[in-house]
A and B are shown apart, each in its own frame.
Chain A
Amino acid sequence: MTIQFNDETFRGDYSFKNSDWAIQRFPFPFHEDSYMYSVNMEQHRGGPKGSIYEKRFDVDEHYLAEMRDRAMVLDDDPLRCQSLPHMTLAGWDLLELIMVSKSEDYPDLFELHRNGDQWRWINKPMGIDDSFTFLDAATLPYGPMEYITRQAQGDFAVLDQRDDNLWMDAGMITTQADWSLDFDIGMNFFEWHAPVPLAHEKGIFVRALKFLLNIQQGAPARRLNWTMTVNPLLDTSPENYHKWGVQKTEITPENIGSKQHLRVELQTFFRLPRSNALVFPIRCYLCNFQDLMSMPKWGRRLHRVIRDLPEELATYKGFIDNRPMMLDYLEKFDDGLPTSPGIWPEFETEPPLQK
């Protein structure tokens, strides 16, 4: 199908919205009625047709608006995209991975023509047609990582692998859930995860790192993570927290359905061939409460998850103060009926709300 790209904003008037298609394929992150951190990783080998798992790099109706937002963030703060000097080769690996994947998975939108090291890349939605020499940075308007991630939705952390650890040595981070690339760059897996509560004690990061170190080329993996964001704001950075933090207090019982968004990250992991680095794309999907409630299963489940979430997690994710108001809203969509297992909405088979 051809995608209709939305003309929308993630700031100011916040005109972002999800079509019915986007709501149906939203990656609801809860496969059961409760949530706790776990080593929730699986192979990234496609998924149901039309789902966000189907392609290696999902492209959706928000593509152009997200790329415009990224360009604005970078104009304001170039430190959101950084690459330590030894990471340039990994940047080329990433450029190749994205160009090859997108041109194969979306041939109507992207084309890659290769003749030895002479490459031509056509990005139709963004109106880009560039010819360059692979591995020669002087032939591109930006470094390779920056060039390609200005054309790909989601954040990208590029990890160097050495000393049995992963090091965050490069990244394009403009849609982050409140962490700073500029501060974390150069840290290892345990250091950048240091602020996360409970998970270290449960041994989750030790096991997760072991899994990641063994990821092979051509066998990517994935997981979902989630948090809450008021307004469809992509740039919830610590850098700008003194500007956006106050929006969290602008939630009222009247506007919570449209303003409060569940923010879900589809995180994938790919081994890169030349550099042996690991790339960690973090793709952010936003959906407001009222759109989520159009799926009876999600309504029932979200209420139960938020109600029973440990206080440490609600605090870390930054919504502890708003939780009571969220529950007042969500409770109306929970009639106590059981829910089917799995993340998919099962709209056809799940009983309608009995309230």
Chain B
Amino acid sequence: MSKFEFPKSILSRPVWGTLEPRRGLHHLMIADAEGAEAILDVATPEMMESAHIIFIPKGTDYAKRLRALNPAQFYDGPSYAASVTRIQRVLLGAKMSTQVYLSGTESLMGQAMLECTNAGIPHTAIQTEHRGSTARRMQCVHCKGFTEDVAIDPFVCSHCGLNLFVRDHYSRRYAAYQGVCVDAEDPGNVPPSKGIYP
């Protein structure tokens, strides 16, 4: 499966890596949709003996293949939001020797990363790999609401309805990119939406 090369961008934008197997007493793997492929690529039988996989399929059918890896624990959740208290609970019990693997969309990795850092997991123990959709989690700078899976620019804020353009400026604390009103200086003149990446 070919991976998407993100264009060079500004310094607040996160840079994602490639998962590799690491030694550790516990392995926490959190993925959504095509992120499953990165886990399938990195998984080893020894790792699976102490692995907890948290997977949000988002309409894909990778769950069966992940389950077939025989991880110590497997969770198949309907949405990231539904899984977040479980993630928090698992992180609360995570030991110094836990290795974390995040893969899939930027939204999932960003939000799960935030939970990990809040729980005090050192960043050196967290790996990431982007797979699948390049859609973004956007925060409206005006109403502060988040809109998930934004693939076009400009887009309509799902909370306040303003037409927003998509910035590359990214907040790790919100795990979101910033959306700013596109027609403030010429109300009603909203350019036609295009894909975020040409």
Q: Which residues from chain A sit less than 8 Å from chain B, CB to CB?
A: 79, 180, 182-187, 190-195, 200, 238-246, 248-249, 321
Contact = CB atoms under 8 A, between A and B. Distances in A.
Contacts of A239: 141-142
Contacts of B13: 194
B180 interface: yes
B22 interface: no
Given A187-B12, A238-B180, A242-B162, 13 more contacts: A180-B141, A183-B139, A183-B171, A183-B178, A185-B173, A187-B173, A194-B10, A195-B12, A242-B142, A242-B184, A246-B186, A248-B185, A249-B186
A183 B176 CA distance: 9
Q: Which 6 A-B pairs have the closest CB atoms?
A: A245-B184, A194-B12, A242-B181, A194-B10, A191-B12, A194-B11
A241 B142 contact: yes
Given A183-B141, A184-B171, A195-B169, A241 B181 contact: yes
A70 to B, nearest CB: 20
A245 B142 CA distance: 13
Interface string B155-198: 00000001000011101111000101100111100000000000
A184 B162 CA distance: 22
B65 interface: no
Contact of B184 (A192, A193, A194, A241): A241
Nearest to A238: B141
A194 B168 CA distance: 9
Q: Which size bracket describes the interface of B in this complex?
A: 20 to 34
A195 B10 contact: yes
A289 B177 CA distance: 36
A127 B11 CA distance: 45
A183 B181 contact: no
Contacts of A187: 12, 171-173
B93 to A, nearest CB: 23
A245 B12 contact: no
A213 B58 CA distance: 46
Nearest to B163: A242
Dominant secondary structure of chain A at its interface with chain B: helix
11 contacts: A184-B171, A185-B173, A186-B173, A187-B12, A187-B173, A193-B11, A194-B12, A238-B180, A241-B180, A242-B181, A249-B186
B136 to A, nearest CB: 14
A238 B181 CA distance: 9
Which of B180, B184, B187 lies at the interface centre, i.e. has the most chain A CB atoms within 10 A of its CB? B184
A193 B186 CA distance: 27
B144 interface: yes
Nearest to A318: B185
Contacts of B142: 238-242
Contacts of A184: 171
A189 to B, nearest CB: 10
Contacts of B167: 195
Nearest to A179: B169
Contacts of A193: 11
A242 B185 CA distance: 8
Contacts of A186: 171-173
Contacts of B169: 183, 194-195
A321 B184 CA distance: 14
A190 B14 CA distance: 12
A238 B179 CA distance: 10
B144 A182 contact: yes
A187 B180 CA distance: 19
A248 B174 CA distance: 30
Nearest to B9: A194
Contact of B11 (A79, A200, A245): A200
Contacts of B171: 183-184, 186-187
A180 B176 CA distance: 14
A346 B142 CA distance: 44
Contacts of B186: 246, 249
Contacts of A195: 10, 12, 167, 169
